[in-house]
Amino acid sequence: MFVDEVDIHVTAGDGGRGCLSFHREKLAPRGGPDGGDGGQGGSVYLAASPHLNTLVSYRFHPTYTAQRGAHGEGSNRTGRNGSDLVLQVPVGTEAFETRDGSTIPIADLREAGQRVTIARGGRGGRGNQHFASSTNQAPRRTELGLPGESLALRLQLKLLADVGLVGFPNVGKSTLISRISAARPKIANYPFTTLSPNLGVVSLSDERSFVVADIPGLVSGAHKGLGLGDRFLRHLERTRVLLHIVDVSSLTGREPNDDFDAICAELTQFSTTRSDEKLGGSLSNKHQIVVPNKVDALEQPDRLDRLREHARRLGLKVYPVSAVTGQGIDAMLEAVWAAFEATPLNQPSHPQPSITPL
Ligand SMILES: Nc1nc2c(ncn2[C@@H]2O[C@H](COP(=O)(O)OP(=O)(O)OP(=O)(O)O)[C@@H](O)[C@H]2O)c(=O)[nH]1
Ligand SMILES: [Mg+2]
């Protein structure tokens, strides 16, 4: 499981001080006490937002403080309450208080819109108006505001991939994820460079972002344990979109269409052997986008043409790219976003024609 984790410090606002004041007026020189109360300090909340997928923004700002309450004033005026601070976090975020080396769970934000108080603002102090009595009509007593709560917080989010990269080894999956996100997996010109999945966050403009998973390459017979096997495919079960990466350069010595069919067959095999399909539809039914890679090294354009034609017959969109030069990447990412938006979570997209296992 991939975990996004940040440590932050939150402090609620202190309460404002109560005021010491006496009423003064031209014809009433000895007016009574009229010191107002201090305002309440702002509290800190966590709120679950469906529009966020990661905790990445908290890495850059580790401390958060809500506004303090204003002090009370004369003429019985209460100080203004401090504004609350609402920290938006992705749905699925868990919050822990870290104190003296121990970690205490304090909130689990499972539903969009859910809001929990993390640190309470301090109560405002009372002004001297409250302390008048029959024996003391000119009290000089006031209260200080109470301090706002302050705590060290650990936020954790179990990242789930929204988009999965599938393809043969060495087709450029890791190169692609390193191009489109901050993930820096090992890249090398031999098969099975990637031995465990990598996640990367892709940020498009206007707060559009999604999480991409790069998994070890598949080979024909992966479902029988060939290569590294197909067990990594379970990391893609909750994704909404699959990017099927095919190396169209001549370097592979293989026919792109055969590669494509072999991977589809593995997806189908994996789906049929897994009974647990409630997570988001079987892999072979997921929305698939075909991404021919290494077009910078395309010496035989007919290899790409054949793949285009093959995908067209299956009703799949094709976005050729070069993960090395960046050619075609922007258009591909826009298409991924559109597919991602159009595919509701936990529902298989429109069925893709499945290819019988080889
Ligand atoms: N010319 C060219 N080479 C590329 C491109 N993308 C990747 N490569 C090269 O292809 C080789 C394999 O790239 P990787 O990103 O490691 O491939 P992978 O699919 O992650 O491979 P595995 O982890 O083994 O499954 C590296 O030498 C890359 O530099 C591309 O667009 N053009
Ligand atoms: Mg790799």
265: phi > 0 → left, psi -120 to 50 → alpha, else beta; which?
alpha
CA distances from 120 to 31, 87, 117, 177, 284 (A): 36, 14, 7, 42, 49
Q: Which amino acid is at 278?
A: K
List, for residues 230-268, the tens digit of each pLDDT value. 888 887 887 899 999 999 998 888 999 999 999 999 999
Q: What is the DSSP letter of 48?
A: E
Q: What's the pLDDT score for residue 281?
A: 53
165, 166, 170, best to mutate for ligand 1 pocket (most atoms within 8 Å of CB): 170
Q: What's the pLDDT score for residue 280?
A: 45
Report which protein residue has its CA nearest ligand 1's atom 21: 170
Please check whether residue 13 is in contact with residue 41, taking contact to mean a CB–CB distance below 8 angstroms: yes
Torsion sign, CA atoms 211, 217, 221, 224: negative
Q: What share of the chain is helix, strand, coil (3-state, %, to 5)?
A: 20, 25, 50
Q: What's the pLDDT score for residue 349?
A: 40
Distance 324 CA to ligand 2 centre (A): 14
Report which protein residue has its CA nearest ligand 1's atom 9: 172
Pairwise CA distance, residues 109 & 188, whole Å: 40
Residues with CB under 5 A from ligand 2 (ion): 174, 193-194
Q: What's the pLDDT score for residue 3?
A: 65
Distance 193 CA to ligand 1 centre (A): 9
Q: What's the pLDDT score for residue 89?
A: 93
Q: What's the pLDDT score for residue 353?
A: 41
Domains, the chain: 2-158 (2.70.210.12), 160-342 (3.40.50.300)
For the chain, list residues with pLDDT below 70: 1-3, 206-207, 274-281, 345-358
Give residues (CB < 6 A) around ligand 1: 169-175, 187-189, 191-194, 216-217, 293-294, 296-297, 322-324
Q: What's the pLDDT score for residue 182?
A: 84
187, 259, 296, 298, best to mutate for ligand 1 pocket (most atoms within 8 Å of CB): 187
Run of H or E residues at 203: strand 198-203
Atom of ligand 1 nearest to the CA of 214: 20
Pairing of strands 85-90, 44-49: parallel
Q: What's the pLDDT score for residue 346?
A: 52
Q: Which segments of 227-328 does DSSP mark as H helices, in order?
A: 256-273, 301-313
According to DSSP, the residues that pair with 119 across neighbouring strands are 44
Of the candidates 36, 2, 326, the residue with the CA atom closest to the CA atom of residue 175 = 326
Pairwise CA distance, residues 339 & 289, whole Å: 9
Atom of ligand 1 nearest to the CA of 191: 24
Average pLDDT, the chain: 89
Of the candidates 273, 45, 77, the residue with the CA atom closest to the CA atom of residue 153 = 45
Atom of ligand 1 nearest to the CA of 297: 1
Atom of ligand 1 nearest to the CA of 187: 16
Q: How many Cβ atoms sit within 10 Å of the Cβ of residue 300?
A: 11
